């Protein structure tokens, strides 16, 4: 790909002939990423816990003339997830998106909350990425693994100590994976969004004081949208990012610049 190609075509962002896997794909960021990847030409395997929601996303992918694979399951069940991934055709893109948050002041966090957030955001993400990388290496396809992080993996956020700890860990994991997997031609990066309007953030952003706080911290004059994050994932998955690994792409509207 030459600078002329980038300037004159969208060839560098096409994913034709590739299979992408997206965890947490039933709604929100996962759904948005899955549809964006399909729009760029990829077939998509959707992983989530709701058959009904996954089927709805699958219909959107089919409407784009792409193939959708629906895998219903819980990513915290790591052995079952590994087996399910192994039953797919070889894939070249893995979006490690499933995650959760439970805002709570640091002094009030109990072990159950800590374990719940860390089990999904770190433990499950670690072993999902490992299973994906093992298959990419075995199939000698190379590929792109994209870990969904957060600006909370770069900056402290009020009442989000456990969430922030999990995302700082994801940032470290991303760099370690990139270091170890480069010789397999597997690129590993993270996407770190600010607050984006999704089903998970809807309740918080409906509170005027919190929404005003968020809008005051984001330097650009709007909240993040699902499409902003999906575009970043699409870029990192694409040939246009073929020399990028071990980095974190902040999609934060300038929150972290000061």
Domain of 92: which CATH number?
3.40.50.720
pLDDT digits (tens, 9 = 90+) for 183-198: 999 999 999 999 998 8
Statement: the pTM of the whole predicted model exceeds 0.75: yes
Say which residue, 227 or 5, is predicted with more confidence.
227
Of 60, 140, 163, 208, the active-site residue reads 163
Q: With respect to residue 70, please indicate whether it lies within any of the assigned structural domains.
A: yes
Q: With respect to residue 56, please indicate whether it lies within any of the assigned structural domains.
A: yes
Q: With respect to residue 253, please indicate whether it lies within any of the assigned structural domains.
A: no
Q: With respect to residue 258, please indicate whether it lies within any of the assigned structural domains.
A: no
Q: What pLDDT was estimated at residue 19?
A: 99
Q: With respect to residue 53, please indicate whether it lies within any of the assigned structural domains.
A: yes
Average pLDDT over residues 105-128: 98
Give the pLDDT band of residue 1 (cuts 50, 70, 90).
very low
pLDDT digits (tens, 9 = 90+) for 33-73: 999 999 999 999 999 999 999 999 999 999 999 999 999 99
99, 25 Cβ separation under 8 angstroms? no
> Which position has the token pair 């709805």?
56
43, 68 Cβ separation under 8 angstroms? yes
Of 167, 202, 208, 217, the active-site residue reads 167
Instruction: Outline where DSSP puts E strands in the chain.
Output: 19-23, 43-48, 68-72, 93-96, 143-148, 186-193, 248-251
Average pLDDT of the chain is 95
Rounded Cα distance, 236 and 189, in Å:
7
Give the pLDDT band of residue 8 (cuts 50, 70, 90).
very low
Q: With respect to residue 256, please indicate whether it lies within any of the assigned structural domains.
A: no
Q: What pLDDT was estimated at residue 204?
A: 86
164, containing H or E segment: helix 161-181
240, 189 Cβ separation under 8 angstroms? no
Rounded Cα distance, 208 and 202, in Å:
12
Q: Kindly tell me if the per-residue pLDDT of 219 is higher than 80.
A: yes
Rounded Cα distance, 238 and 258, in Å:
30
Q: With respect to residue 109, please indicate whether it lies within any of the assigned structural domains.
A: yes
Q: With respect to residue 112, please indicate whether it lies within any of the assigned structural domains.
A: yes
Count of structural domains, the chain: 1
Q: Kindly tell me if the per-residue pLDDT of 199 is higher than 90.
A: no
163 is catalytic: yes
Give the pLDDT band of residue 10 (cuts 50, 70, 90).
low
Q: Kindly tell me if the per-residue pLDDT of 105 is higher than 90.
A: yes
213 is catalytic: no
Residue 54 belongs to domain spanning? 10-246
């Amino acid at each position: 790909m030459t600078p002329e190609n980038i300037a004159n075509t969208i060839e560098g962002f096409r994913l034709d002939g590739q299979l992408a896997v997206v965890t947490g794909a039933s709604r929100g960021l996962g759904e948005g990423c899955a549809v964006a990847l399909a729009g760029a030409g990829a077939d998509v395997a959707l992983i989530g816990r709701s058959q009904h929601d996954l089927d709805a996303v699958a219909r959107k992918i089919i409407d784009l003339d792409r193939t959708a694979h629906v895998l219903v399951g819980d990513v915290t069940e790591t052995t079952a997830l590994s087996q399910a991934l192994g039953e797919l055709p070889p894939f070249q893109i893995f979006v490690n998106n499933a995650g959760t948050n439970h805002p709570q002041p640091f002094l009030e966090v109990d072990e159950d909350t800590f374990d719940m957030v860390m089990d999904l955001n770190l433990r499950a993400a670690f072993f999902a990425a490992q299973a994906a990388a093992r298959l990419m290496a075995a199939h000698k396809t190379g590929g792109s693994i994209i870990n969904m992080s957060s600006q909370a993996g770069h900056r402290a956020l009020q009442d989000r100590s456990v969430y922030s700890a999990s995302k700082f860990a994801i940032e470290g994991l991303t760099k370690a994976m990139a270091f170890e997997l480069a010789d397999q031609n597997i690129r590993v990066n993270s996407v770190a969004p600010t607050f984006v309007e999704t089903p998970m953030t809807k309740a918080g952003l409906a509170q005027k004081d919190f929404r005003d706080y968020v809008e005051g911290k984001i330097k650009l004059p709007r909240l993040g949208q699902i499409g902003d994050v999906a575009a970043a994932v699409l870029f990192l998955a694409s040939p246009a990012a073929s020399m990028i690994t071990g980095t974190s792409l902040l999609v934060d509207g300038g929150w972290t610049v000061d």
